[in-house]
Structure 1
């Protein structure tokens, strides 16, 4: 799915040459409330921050929405391509050029509320059960690093819409999912159905900082321009205001 936007300010119309002609490719996934994708548009907390940054730059851009594994692959490999919302992890540090911080988030193990047979006091306890995560997401990498094994106690799927549903499919034998807590709160705001799920354990090691980042093959002047734009918007209150507005839309988990 592709969305076309112009990020040129009025004054930028006077700019000619390579800078004005530069078009960036921005890749992301559907991950409400950070990225909310429908048939005609993309919105969300992170999208507003990224677009504010791009509007303050002289570049045009498109936003392409993919499953996370494909978005990540494109952002690693392609010229003048950036990605959001990307958790900044040591293993990824040299894979990208980092533009700036978007938001922070926590993740937890969830199960169906009717399940009373899953005592969970640690990540190690979860190895006794079968957990579903997003393919190639930080949660997937995290459980693999903790000794979880695919096709044994770990299952990976391609999108968040199917993740919670897996808990309700008996043939999948999924006991737990790891999911972003803000995503749960957002869905709670929109649907009573989410109340059938319970948070069993917040994962301290998965308190993440989401960033906008660009491929190593992105021109350095683009990286410096976007970084400066983001810093200016942070200092003048634009980005903090966006975060505060979105926090007011979320509700506390029961």
Structure 2
């Protein structure tokens, strides 16, 4: 059987015991959601591709992949559970940004951190609510975002938050008095409030947080993960991560 020159070279290297590097790095299809200011579609739409996606996370992974020399696509879509499960189950996919939690640790390969996610309970500025723990807060109507790390944390603590499919919806619910408290994150909650024209929200409780990462399907080659991590570390050392963050905050 005739062999192409590349195949013949690979066969010779294999016989000699040498490494074969005939394949280029695989493309990674990156999935995200509307999670401003980290990821967002133009016009707040629930679907966008590539250059129509912006934010701290989007700009960071773009530069990270460019420096690492790895091909990629960006897709923003809805809902969160769908893109989470796609990345979990299908090789060649990545998810950004997502909290690196103990329960998720063995589900993905991780690159990061891309940025912080401080968990807070927000109330209207005129609210008399004052709490020192989630246990105290459990007596109030709390809104959260379905499928997110914050909602998972509250449920694990025995709370039963009202879940919205889009965290942006909780802004109006808090303003209108349909919620007493909004479980969200800083800076995300305050950014969303400004986008919706709401102001005066106050932090009632800080109850944790997690660093945000790029999560890759577990079949992703370690060499690709290492190249991406090295690129991100280089960006951090140069001050690029801070510069990207400052564009949005």
- Please report the TM-score for the alignment, with normalisation by the length of structure 1: 0.78
CA deviation digits over 1:79-113, x for unaligned, max 9?
11111111111111111101121111312111233
Instruction: State the distance in 1 between where 2:146 and 2:192 align.
Output: 21
Q: Which runs of 5+ in 2 are unaligned?
A: 1-20
Equivalent position SS for 1:84: strand
1:225-236 equivalences under 5 Å are: 225-236=227-238
Instruction: State the distance in 1 between where 2:88 and 2:80 align.
Output: 12
Contact 2:36–2:188 (CA<8 Å) still a contact in 1?
yes
Instruction: State the distance in 2 between where 1:164 and 1:42 align.
Output: 22
1:178 corresponds in structure 2 to 183
2:244 corresponds in structure 1 to 242
2:156 is equivalent to residue 145 of structure 1: yes
1:9 corresponds in structure 2 to none
Equivalent position SS for 2:168: helix
Contact 2:171–2:193 (CA<8 Å) still a contact in 1?
no
Higher Rg of the two aligned structures: 2
1:25-40 equivalences under 5 Å are: 25-38=29-42
**Moved >4 Å (runs of 4+):** 187-191
2:168 is equivalent to residue 161 of structure 1: yes
- Please report the TM-score for the alignment, with normalisation by the length of structure 2: 0.79
CA deviation digits over 1:8-65, x for unaligned, max 9?
xxxxxxxx96316x32110111111111211561111111111110111332211121
1:188 Cα shift?
Answer: 5.9
Q: RMSD of the TM alignment (CA)? A: 2.3
2:205 aligned residue (201, 211, 216): 201
Moved more, 160-169 or 26-35: 160-169
Q: Which runs of 5+ in 1 are unaligned?
A: 1-15
1:19 corresponds in structure 2 to 24
1:184 Cα shift?
Answer: 3.5
Instruction: State the distance in 1 between where 2:23 and 2:172 align.
Output: 47
